[in-house]
Structure 1
């Protein structure tokens, strides 16, 4: 076998190895799973539990079949605003039914509205409950808990400017009330109060609790995205994956695996999904405890805020207020809540390790989208701005490449003279670089700077809800999803769908955007000096087409960015090289390559 065939086999093997590694590290996105899928048939214990105010055993479990029946039969209060709809169950006063009107589970006609919270007995049961943990002079039956039957005492339907009030009398002199209000986005305010009509002082600790039954069914499990619990405690952000909570140490005060932070003065805790989150935010208290717990027997996860115990004198009333964010992780809304006093709330969005890049990149992309009105063109505008910022560095790089291109014939001469003596070839090339004052590594720096920018933009496109279902033009109606075109639907001219992004067919029948990406990379490569090593030449020749297939199942927005980046880079490089006296002959390079290959075949 001659050296050329060996190099071809090696280049092919390396190319497929790159593809394999890439798809292991960056697997294609899974298709959307409806959030209101049918409930599982197997019963699961709710294990409602009671939040202890001091070290004590949690409450007893309640079977899910019984809880589901009671929840379904309990009276409900409707929630209705321009952005959310749902209801509150008077059993426990649970906020357990919430839908986000502005979002659909998919772009299919008639697709269901995204469901944020679900009651016990439904798939992915997920809800917020509030109550009081008993202190001195009280037992568990004297305070309201997750299964207390409340009465609607004020209001009718919960809406913006229309709060509702629930009440419960324990029959022993204590009247508990809970006022619930909601703003025009996703923030609920819950004021819990207790009036002591008895003759002796009592003590109780208010709490808020988010409960999720099992891991979410639409869990992505993608390393670039955090899903699970998220908490802020006095400026320290903590992200806990779902599988980390069961592995936590058993806390004696909670009687189960728990991650507890005591004495928090400012903070919040809750659960975060890809695009949605629910967060408990205590307000107006000097300090509170927050905890993440897991009940192994019932597979129930909880995020809890436990406020300081309140002393309620005879004839007195004590009230505390907390907030609940339950909705989409919209940057503008979350930023407004942070400005209103929720410390570090913008960090509930998963900005990643490169937050110092992802935050400004998203801000710029967001502002460009507001200005242009189209996220696809905003991505192209963002690319132009990034390239403009890097112009001084790019100029030096492309000047160096122009000189390297001019030296190509002399490097070929050195290669012929050196023959198989690689050391002699390297020495000759170093002398040539030194004589002509050329730095062969100068072209690498812009590429190195592009890597963190590329991954930061990938993070922004994948994580932020503003890119979800964001249209560009024609068939490209979701920049967070892979290219929907392929030869199967004549690149969007026919109505039938492209192959499933998770299938091997999607790797073969790629869309028009990846094809444009491959062509733009190939054209850009024609301006760069070719490596002297034949194997490296062959690998570089394969790379545009390898990347074309690798990025076939990536988010369309990312491919749009890379195409725009390649086109702008090609234009910059071409103009700069011409300004240095080198006139790239692209047509000659292309046809010359074909002629050279034909000559080699004839020679054989």
Structure 2
């Protein structure tokens, strides 16, 4: 391998290290503090609930409001229980808000006694997060004549919302319009909301059905990490949009919406909502229907919201109309979301953040998922995935390792050329190229497998970091969460004692690393001993330090990723050792280690 290719590998590795270290030490800044002197554009809206669309899209826009609103948290309002195999929660009759929801299959910590994950919370509580529905008034109607965020509904049918047992709410205004809302839920995370209105009055009216997902403030566990999108996510006619919370807060004020807003016109298929690391709440209008999707931010009340507003309906006396939409509120499980996509939700699988290398992350996750289905343990599945990838790249790796074996055999000749040419770099390069040509060695052939590993590594890192299937996935012993850093440390005798290791955000975690990063460093160091040593002393020093730099740098990474890298190094070492021996070269790993120590001692003595 000549100096140019070694420099390429070195530059790639160091660049990778610098980027990762930068984002670990200097994460993106938090959103700027709210300006207490900002103009109040929502003075007429209740302080505790989201701002509903005040008029139908085709009508003149009025002052933002929330229907027949009174300023109340609704804590004492009657509720309808939600009980499914995977969900528990309730619907408030005040506004018909779906505002309490917990995920039975997931807990805050990898402990069976830990609290289950809360997804939705009612207004008036910290980090309120909820969904509400209604009708935006058009011609012939005022805000008080349509149901809004604080309208008191009556329960007309059902007592507990569960699969196969929908509930129906009703409300009648003073103009003879009767509003009905039927809510159903399936076995997983999909709610179906059918809104109906019947005009028993004497005049023609127009109105538009809408759905809102509102979030008070940013999530309390916001990661703010460059590899993960959290915030608004929308699909509009096959185009995916992702808007971070700080970008939503920086949107320009839209006069038509009365708030900071970005409006997306969807002609056929789409959805919009909020995505977290592992959870998502998404409004899904019917397929083939046009609608207006909007992301908004109310900076006076610190409320983020997403809207889906369907086209305006006009009702003459005696007529009725209805609109059905879906609401996904749950975990971003690959199988579950894939099934909803197959059922008609356009490109719903893209709600998982696959990243730039989606053409690699999707098949890598699929393969990891299938291996896990067979083995039943995600840690061993990662090792199985590594074996498959290494087998797939073996034909290419074979040429690389054969070239490295020949390069090892030429090491004495290369040292002689170096001594003979001295500081004459041009002559050194010419004689080296003549030697390569004479021995039919291609030094560049060893670089391609290394370069191919970089996008695979990033893709697997993405898969391990963003997919919920790795969350709290155990391996064995103390490794009970492969999406979290190694829980072992010298401070708990590498998992032998029932004490916690230093938390990842602690400076001690950078020093007292776990057993997996240590094994990683050793495996990288051993693998180096099979490769030709650089002829340049500076490069020798950098390559010698690289395993230990990576060992500490990856100490705070997900243990599943470190496990992959260890497995990759061990398999690479075994493949390279076997191929080198098949070419007549017998690697003396122990001898190389002793020689490196002797060279180091000799250098220090000088």
TM-score (normalizing by structure 2): 0.91
Shift, 1:214, TM fit:
1.2
Which runs of structure 2 are paired with 1:76-475 in the superposition (5 Å)? 76-108=79-111, 110-283=113-286, 286-475=289-478
Q: Is the 8 A contact 1:28 1:553 kept in 2?
A: no
For 2:95 and 2:259, the matched residues in 1 are separated by 23
For 1:16 and 1:437, the matched residues in 2 are separated by 30
- Higher mean C-alpha deviation, range 19-28 or range 440-449: 19-28
Q: Is the 8 A contact 1:87 1:95 kept in 2?
A: yes
Q: Is the 8 A contact 1:29 1:501 kept in 2?
A: no
1:33 alignment counterpart: none
1:45 alignment counterpart: 47
1:37 alignment counterpart: none
Q: Is the 8 A contact 1:65 1:121 kept in 2?
A: no
Shift, 1:244, TM fit:
1.1
Q: Is the 8 A contact 2:287 2:345 kept in 1?
A: no
Q: Please give the per-residue CA displacement for 1:423-454, whole angstroms capped at 9, x wherever unaligned.
A: 22222212211211212121110010000000
RMSD over aligned Cα atoms: 2.1
2:516 alignment counterpart: 513
Over 3 Å counting, the alpha-carbon distance change for 1:164 and 1:61 in structure 2 is closer
For 1:379 and 1:17, the matched residues in 2 are separated by 26
Shift, 1:50, TM fit:
3.0
TM-score (normalizing by structure 1): 0.92
SS of the aligned residue for 1:441 comes to helix
Q: Is the 8 A contact 1:79 1:159 kept in 2?
A: yes
Identify which of 563, 568, 571 aligns with 2:571: 568
Over 3 Å counting, the alpha-carbon distance change for 1:513 and 1:65 in structure 2 is farther
Q: Is the 8 A contact 1:517 1:562 kept in 2?
A: yes
Shift, 1:67, TM fit:
2.6
Over 3 Å counting, the alpha-carbon distance change for 1:455 and 1:410 in structure 2 is same
Over 3 Å counting, the alpha-carbon distance change for 1:65 and 1:545 in structure 2 is farther
- Higher mean C-alpha deviation, range 415-424 or range 346-355: 415-424
Q: Is the 8 A contact 1:491 1:511 kept in 2?
A: yes
Structure 1: gaps (5+ residues): 1-14, 31-43
Structure 2: gaps (5+ residues): 1-12, 29-45
Q: Is the 8 A contact 1:47 1:60 kept in 2?
A: no
Q: Please give the per-residue CA displacement for 1:534-559, whole angstroms capped at 9, x wherever unaligned.
A: 11011111111111111111000000
Q: Please give the per-residue CA displacement for 1:446-494, whole angstroms capped at 9, x wherever unaligned.
A: 0100000000000000000000000000110000000000111111000
1:67 alignment counterpart: 72
Q: Is the 8 A contact 2:49 2:123 kept in 1?
A: no
Q: Is the 8 A contact 1:369 1:378 kept in 2?
A: yes
2:555 alignment counterpart: 552
Q: Is the 8 A contact 2:80 2:161 kept in 1?
A: yes
- Higher mean C-alpha deviation, range 51-60 or range 371-380: 51-60
For 2:547 and 2:597, the matched residues in 1 are separated by 17
Shift, 1:17, TM fit:
10
Q: Is the 8 A contact 2:191 2:326 kept in 1?
A: yes
Over 3 Å counting, the alpha-carbon distance change for 1:562 and 1:309 in structure 2 is same
Shift, 1:20, TM fit:
6.4
Identify which of 477, 485, 496 aligns with 2:480: 477
Q: Is the 8 A contact 1:28 1:502 kept in 2?
A: no
SS of the aligned residue for 1:283 comes to coil
Q: Is the 8 A contact 2:334 2:349 kept in 1?
A: yes
For 1:264 and 1:246, the matched residues in 2 are separated by 26
Q: Please give the per-residue CA displacement for 1:302-328, whole angstroms capped at 9, x wherever unaligned.
A: 100001111223222211100000010
Over 3 Å counting, the alpha-carbon distance change for 1:18 and 1:385 in structure 2 is closer
Q: Is the 8 A contact 1:282 1:321 kept in 2?
A: yes
Aligned residues: 574
Over 3 Å counting, the alpha-carbon distance change for 1:293 and 1:58 in structure 2 is farther
For 1:282 and 1:572, the matched residues in 2 are separated by 53
Shift, 1:263, TM fit:
4.2
